[in-house]
Amino acid sequence: MGIRIGYLTDIHLRKEVSGTSIIETRHCRKMAGLLPSALARMCRESPDMIVCTGDVLDVSTGPGVDQDLRLCKKFFDDCGTPYVVLPGNHDPLPDDFYRVFPVPEKRLLLNNCELIFFHEDACFNGEQSSKRSERSLHTMADILMRAKCCEEATLLFQHYVIYPDRNEGYPHNYQNDDEIRSILEQSDRQLLSISGHYHSGIPMMQKNNVSYFAGRAFCEKPYSCYIINASEHGIFIEELETAKEIQ
């Protein structure tokens, strides 16, 4: 059976929020125009669900943030496909973020595939990197150690990077990425971990029987979004370069 996911990450939208990013490659002010087209483009591929792994907004507090978050939610609502949006380090903290977006289930079974969402991970107390909490690690281990019933593939979604190491110049990985990896490696499922946060993206790669992937940031050219196909036959990721189509 298998599942088809429309996927994008790191939108960094600014519309009501003034200014733009000091990083010139982030086209924050174009996002309100491009996001609806990208969502429509993914929907033409008939995905079962759309997932965004965070940094919906470019700034987390201040004038315009609430309006911009509500605008993004409207874009997702309007595309008419079930969706999950996770907060990133540029977004309001999870408690505030989920006053606007619907809180995802921790675990979802769809077409014999299992989706796990780490929407509670964040950079707390001004830290530059995230640490997955003990509680969240336990929940993850519990889910992954359960007897496999009918899952063809398990996809784990989070904002921060688990593997490979991408901490040069800026700490993109979880502080406890090794702990997370060792739990993943004990599972006998076909696992793909999907992250945002590392704007150049990381092609799908395997380490000790676990697959890892990070999407390119949507806010930067070529404004990539993806279709992820997962089934008992394997996991395949198709990049939709939307730059020409949606400008």
Q: Is 58 in the site for Fe ion (CB under 5 A)?
A: no
- In this complex, which beta carbon is closest to Fe ion, that of residue 55 or of residue 68? 55
Which residue in 29, 41, 55, 140 binds Fe ion (CB under 5 A)?
Answer: 55
The vertex-169 CA angle with 163 and 173, nearest 5°, equals 25
Residue in the shown chain whose Cβ atom is closest to Fe ion: 55
User: Is 10 a binder of Fe ion (CB under 5 A)?
Assistant: yes
204 closest CA partner among 217, 214, 195: 214
* Cα 242 from Cα 203, distance rounded (Å): 18
Total residues contacting Fe ion by CB under 5 A comes to 2
CB of 69 to Fe ion, least distance (A): 15
Q: 55 burial class (0-12, 13-18, 19+ CB within 10 angstroms)?
A: buried
Q: Least separation, in Å, of the C-beta of 12 and Fe ion?
A: 6
Nearer to Fe ion, 85 or 210 (CB): 85
Q: Are 179 and 137 in contact (CB under 8 A)?
A: yes
Token pair of 157, please? 């979604």
Span of 27-35, 51-59, 117-125, 173-181 interacting with Fe ion by CB under 5 A: 51-59
Contact footprint for Fe ion (CB under 5 A)? 10, 55
